[in-house]
Amino acid sequence: MTVTALAFMGGTFDPIHNGHLRTALEIQQWLGIDRVALMPSKVPVHRAQPERSPQQRLDMLQRAVEDEPALYADAREILSSKPSYTVLTLEALRREFGAELPICMIMGMDAYLSLPTWDRWQELLQLAHIVVVKRPGWVYKPGDLISRVTRNHEVSDKQRLLSSAAGHVIFHELTPLGISATQIRNLIGDGHSPRYLIPDGVWDYIQQQQLYGCSEIKGKR
Ligand code: ATP
């Protein structure tokens, strides 16, 4: 397969849910590229450590994408001996794919707003484009530090992303799914079913492994 552009969405995926999956699939179709990678972080550096192991989060992700050829799991951060700093991942991708390939990093608005707290964040746009997906409840404040970055890098034509290697930010509005992993963990923790918010294969795995305190849920599928 000739790769014309690489697009990936990083995250904790604790657990992966339909908000992640629908976002990745819509971006794949919108950009007109073959596949989008979902890349779980081994040790998230910007947030509390999840109780689920990297392998468990990867297992759930692999189950979620197994029937969808347009999505795949990229385990490079989990397999790496280094912490999951995005800048290191992008440098590794550049070493692997060269300087010319368009690389698009997909992230929700919440993640984009937190960008100035990321390690070596000013270098990220030298290494990749950023596709920002609006997320219910997260609004962009024009006065923020991130607004200056946006002003200097924002484009509205996706072809600009596909015809250059890095350096652009584009906002994309898609089917808003106000689902979060926090909500899934809370539902399960409260003894409720998360069915239809996550793929059935992921829910089966959660029950088998008794994750998120799900052993007490009644009326499992
Ligand atoms: P948590 O509730 O634990 O913070 P989360 O649901 O936000 O988790 P993450 O693994 O932290 O999931 O997110 C990975 C990426 O997916 C981030 O860029 C985040 O903005 C994005 N994302 C998560 N949920 C959605 C959603 N419903 N719609 C669009 N993007 C999403």
Q: In what order do the strands lie in the sheet with 103-108?
A: 71-73, 36-40, 6-11, 103-108, 129-133, 169-172
Is residue 63 within 8 Å of residue 200, measured between CB atoms? no
Q: What is the secondary structure of the chain as a DSSP string?
A: ---S-EEEEEE--TT--HHHHHHHHHHHHHHT-S-EEEEE-SS-SSSPPPSS-HHHHHHHHHHHHTT-TTEEE--HHHH-SS---HHHHHHHHHHHH-SSS-EEEEEEHHHHHTGGGSTTGGGHHHH-EEEEE--TT----TTSHHHHHHHHHB-S-HHHHHTSSS--EEEE--------HHHHHHHHHTT---BTTB-HHHHHHHHHHTGGGGGG-SS--
Q: Which residue has the tokens 């990678």?
A: 37
Ligand 1 atom with the smallest distance to the CA of 177 is 27
Q: pLDDT, tens digit, for every residue of 3-23?
A: 789 999 999 999 999 999 999
Confidence of residue 133 (pLDDT cuts 50, 70, 90): very high
Q: Does any ligand 1 atom lie closer than 6 A to the CB of residue 77?
A: no
Mean pLDDT, to the nearest integer, of 214-219? 60
Nearest to 61 by CA among 81, 85, 37, 92: 37
Q: In this prediction, what percent of the chain has a pLDDT beyond 70?
A: 93
Ligand 1 atom with the smallest distance to the CA of 107 is 18
CA of 102 to the centre of ligand 1 (A): 23
Q: Does any ligand 1 atom lie closer than 6 A to the CB of residue 182?
A: yes
Q: Does any ligand 1 atom lie closer than 6 A to the CB of residue 130?
A: no
* CATH class, range 6-178: alpha beta
Domain boundaries, the chain: 6-178, 180-221
Is the pLDDT at 99 greater than 90, yes or no?
yes
Q: In this prediction, what percent of the chain has a pLDDT beyond 90?
A: 76
pLDDT of residue 221: 57
Confidence of residue 144 (pLDDT cuts 50, 70, 90): confident
pLDDT of residue 147: 87
Is residue 212 within 8 Å of residue 185, measured between CB atoms? yes
Q: Does any ligand 1 atom lie closer than 6 A to the CB of residue 11?
A: yes
pLDDT of residue 46: 64
Q: How far apart are CA 15 and CA 108, in angstroms?
A: 16
Q: Does any ligand 1 atom lie closer than 6 A to the CB of residue 180?
A: yes
The verdict on pTM exceeding 0.85 is yes
Is the pLDDT at 45 greater than 70, yes or no?
no
Structure tokens given for 108: 């929700």
Q: How many C-beta atoms lie closer than 10 Å to residue 166's C-beta? A: 22
Mean pLDDT, to the nearest integer, of 48-73? 92
Is the pLDDT at 47 greater than 70, yes or no?
no
pLDDT of residue 220: 52
pLDDT of residue 9: 98
